[in-house]
Amino acid sequence: MKKSLRILGYVVGLLVLAVAGFATYVAARGIPNYDLQPAPLAAIEATPGRVELGEKLVLASCADCHRNAKTNSLSGQQLMDLTPDFGKVYSANITQDKTHGIGNWSDAQLVSLLRTGVGPNGRFRVIMPNFVHMSDEDMASVVAFLRSDNALVRATPTPSHAQEPSFLLKALTNTVMKPTPAPTAPIAAPPATNAVAYGNYLVVGRYKCYECHSKDFGTNNSLEPARSEGYLGGGNALLNMQGETVLSRNITSEPETGIGDWTEAQFAQAVKFGMTPHGPLAYPMPKYSRLTDEEVHALYAYLQTVPKIKNATPEDGVVAVR
C-alpha cells in the first residue's frame, strides 16, 4: 500500500472514531443543562395597564404555541408545525397551576427563562423562543398577564409533556443552539413619536417579525437581528399545522418582490387581518388584530428604511419547494 493511502486510512479511521464518540456523548447527554442563576429582580407590579398590554403581547407571541384546544388555556400542546427532523416537541403548561404550571416560579425566574431560554432547574428549553430585545416594560407586562385572572392562564392541572428530541435536535443543542446571554443593562423601547426607531423595536424586540421573515431560523442572529441572513427578505421555509411548507414573504420595500408598492392601509389590513392585495394570508403568519394605528405606522415606516432585498416567493409566481 502506498504510504499516502495508509495515512489517509488513519485519518478516516480517526474521523470515524471522533464521530462515533461525539454521537455517543450527545446521545448520553441529551439536551444540556446550564448553571445559570436568574438576575435579581424587584417583584413586578401588576398594574391594569400592564395586564392589558400583556394580554395583547401573549396573544400575539405565545398563544399560538402554548394554547391547548382542549383546556382552552395555555396548558401546552405538541408543536405540529415543527419539522419532524427534530422529533416531538411540546410547549409547556404556563398556567398558574403550582405543580404543573408556573404558579410557583418567581418573577426573576420567569424573566430569566424568557431572556435566556434556561429555566429554574438549569434545563435549557428547546424551540421556546428567547425574547432578548423585548423592553423591560413589555416583559413586565407579559409577566403581569401570566399572573392575572384571565381564563387563558387560570390554573390548569395538566402535566407538561416530556420532550422527545431526535438525535439531530440533541446534537444541535450540544453545538449551535445555545442559551442567549442575559442582558446586562436595562432595555427601554424608543418613544412611539420616533416612528422608524419604534418600528425597528417592534420588528426585533416586541413581535420579532424578523425571525420568520429572514432567510432561515438557522442563520438568524438573535443578538444582532439586522445581521441575520436575508434580513426581512422572506423565504424562510415554515410549516403549517398539517406539516406543509409555507414560505414567509419578503417584507422589505423592494417594489417587485417585496411590499414597496403597498400603501400603509394595505399593509395594515395584511398584518392585522391577514388580507393582502394577493389574497388571504395563512398560518403561521399571526393575525395582529390588536395592533394600534401607531404601531402599524411605525412598522410601515421602519420597513421602508431597511435594505431592499430582491427575493421572490409564491405570491410573486414562484412555486414553494422543500
User: Any contact of residue 61 with ligand HEC (CB under 6 A)?
Assistant: yes
Which residue matches cell numbers 441575520? 228
User: Any contact of residue 271 with ligand HEC (CB under 6 A)?
Assistant: yes
d(CA 320, CA 322): 7
HSE, CB side, 13 Å, CA atoms: give it for residue 90: 16
Q: Identify whether the C-beta of residue 146 lies closer than 8 Å to the C-beta of residue 51.
A: no
d(CA 56, CA 247): 26
Per-residue cell: 66: 402554548
User: Any contact of residue 298 with ligand HEC (CB under 6 A)?
Assistant: no
Give the residue among 270, 280, 215 at the shortest CA–CA distance from 248: 215
Q: Tell me the Cα Rg of the chain.
A: 22
Which residues in 141-168 are b (16+ Cβ under 10 Å) and which e? bbbbbbbbeeebbbebebeeeebebeee
Q: Which stretch binds ligand HEC (CB under 6 A): 20-28, 151-159, 169-177, 273-281?
A: 273-281
Chain mean position to CA 11: 41
Among 251, 298, 306, 309, binds ligand HEC (CB under 6 A): 251
Q: How far is the CB of 321 from ligand HEC (least distance, A)?
A: 14
User: Any contact of residue 232 with ligand HEC (CB under 6 A)?
Assistant: no
Among 36, 102, 204, 268, binds ligand HEC (CB under 6 A): 102
Among 129, 183, 190, 260, binds ligand HEC (CB under 6 A): 129
The count of chain residues that interact with ligand HEC, using the rule CB under 6 A, is 48
Of 45 and 246, the one with the shorter C-beta distance to ligand HEC is 246
Per-residue cell: 193: 413619536
Q: How far is the CB of 77 from ligand HEC (least distance, A)?
A: 9
User: Any contact of residue 212 with ligand HEC (CB under 6 A)?
Assistant: yes
Of 13 and 277, the one with the shorter C-beta distance to ligand HEC is 277
Q: Identify whether the C-beta of residue 79 lies closer than 8 Å to the C-beta of residue 89.
A: yes
Strand boundaries in the chain, DSSP class E: 87-88, 164-165, 237-239, 245-247, 275-276, 279-280
Per-residue cell: 18: 471522533
Among 246, 268, 306, 309, binds ligand HEC (CB under 6 A): 246
User: Any contact of residue 119 with ligand HEC (CB under 6 A)?
Assistant: yes
User: Any contact of residue 270 with ligand HEC (CB under 6 A)?
Assistant: yes
Instruction: Identify the DSSP state of 81.
Output: T
User: Any contact of residue 140 with ligand HEC (CB under 6 A)?
Assistant: no
| Residues at the contact surface with ligand HEC, assessed by CB under 6 A | 58, 61-62, 65-66, 79, 89, 91-92, 94, 102, 110, 113-114, 119, 125-129, 131, 142, 160, 163, 207-209, 212-213, 238, 246, 248-249, 251, 259, 267, 270-271, 276, 278, 281-282, 284-286, 288, 299, 315
